[in-house]
């Protein structure tokens, strides 16, 4: 958890390997250099199976070095191409996040009748500390704020690791965005009081039908939002979309250490739970597509294609190319 947030995980993985190969004394052929990079990327992907951005970036980088090896004269040129591509990911992610923020802010204003008093709830951390900069769901909040239409942002603690209270609250205070922290269990009451018009969350993996894996507790929020008539949005780059998975049932969900629940401070502090108690601590849950109002990407907003509540994500991506 030193690096967390799907986009940041992918970028950190690529840049860490770029650091390794930058001064690597490699004596093999270009093909062997490409193989070296590919195997390292495979190892990095094994670290975080839920976040698709990492595997997507690895596949693209593997294809890049493989193609380069066909015409390269030495191993150093393979490494240089990889380094340049990894550095480009950093720049591209910030631009993509700002586009997500712009599309999301404009769409929410249209959906909510151009209100100048929009209050939203977000979960976990999806800002500059989870991406290369600006953020996805938090990027939408930043765009609403800069546009003068955000009344308040509410953020959950996001137990058990408290990404909301530790990270999102920090970013909101740092940017002087009007914000309030709530307990995870207070979200339904907040919606029942009519204090928020929308929920905006990020995504670690989005299946072809729109089912979305995100930080544990996201599913709870979507159910509560549906019950209270609150719009529920997912904000993520298209690299978070995995068209190879028909639905969220195929998404692998990581389980975290029992200590995160047994001990205070997300597992870093003293034990507070009874010794001997069993623990189930999934890091993510899957929100069904029928509970999601729309999916906000850097290419635009994916809306429901029919009254039954299904997304044509594949068609959207093909049209956006």
Q: Is 162 helix (H, G, I), strand (E, B) or coil?
A: coil
Whether the Cβ atoms of residue 252 and residue 172 lie closer than 8 Å to each other = no
Catalytic site positions: 204
Cα 15 to chain centroid distance, Å, stands at 18
Residue 160, preceding peptide bond in cis (omega within 30° of 0): yes
CA nearest to 228, candidates 266, 263, 199, 261: 199
Please report which residue ranges of the chain form alpha helices under DSSP H: 6-22, 30-45, 52-69, 75-111, 137-146, 163, 169-174, 187-192, 218-228, 259-262, 313-320
What is the DSSP pairing of strand 179-182 with strand 212-215?
A: unpaired
Element (H, E) at 301: strand 300-302
DSSP result, 6-38: HHHHHHHHHHHHHHHHHT----S-HHHHHHHHH
CA nearest to 104, candidates 234, 224, 214, 204: 234
For residue 165, give the DSSP letter. Answer: I
Distances (CA, A) of 158 to 163, 274, 290: 6, 22, 23
């Amino acid at each position: 958890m030193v690096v967390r947030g799907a986009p940041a995980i992918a970028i950190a993985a690529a840049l860490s390997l770029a650091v390794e190969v930058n001064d690597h004394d490699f004596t093999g052929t270009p093909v062997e250099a490409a193989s070296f990079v590919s195997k390292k990327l495979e190892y990095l992907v094994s670290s975080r199976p839920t976040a698709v951005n990492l595997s997507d970036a690895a596949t693209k980088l593997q294809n890049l070095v493989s193609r380069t090896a066909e015409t390269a004269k030495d191993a150093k040129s393979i490494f240089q191409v990889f380094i340049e591509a990894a550095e480009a990911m950093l720049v591209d992610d910030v631009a993509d996040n700002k586009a997500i923020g712009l599309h999301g802010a404009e769409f929410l204003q249209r959906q909510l009748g151009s209100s100048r008093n929009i209050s939203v709830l977000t979960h976990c951390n999806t800002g500059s500390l989870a991406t290369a900069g600006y953020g996805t769901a938090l990027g939408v909040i930043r765009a609403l704020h800069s546009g003068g239409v955000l009344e308040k942002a509410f953020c959950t603690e996001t137990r058990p690791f408290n990404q909301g209270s530790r990270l999102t609250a920090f970013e909101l205070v740092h940017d002087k965005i009007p914000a309030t922290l709530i307990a995870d269990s207070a979200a339904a009451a907040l919606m029942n009081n009519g204090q928020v018009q929308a929920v905006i969350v990020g995504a670690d993996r989005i299946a072809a039908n729109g089912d979305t894996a995100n930080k544990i507790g996201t599913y709870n929020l979507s159910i509560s939002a549906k019950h209270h008539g609150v719009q529920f949005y997912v904000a993520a780059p298209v690299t978070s979309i995995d068209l190879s998975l028909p639905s969220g049932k195929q998404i692998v969900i990581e389980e975290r250490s029992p200590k995160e629940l047994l001990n205070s401070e997300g597992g870093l502090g003293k034990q507070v739970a009874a010794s001997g108690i069993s623990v189930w601590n999934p890091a993510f849950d899957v929100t069904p597509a029928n509970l999601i109002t729309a999916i906000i990407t850097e290419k635009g907003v994916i809306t429901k294609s029919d009254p039954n509540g299904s997304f044509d994500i594949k068609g959207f991506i093909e049209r956006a190319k």
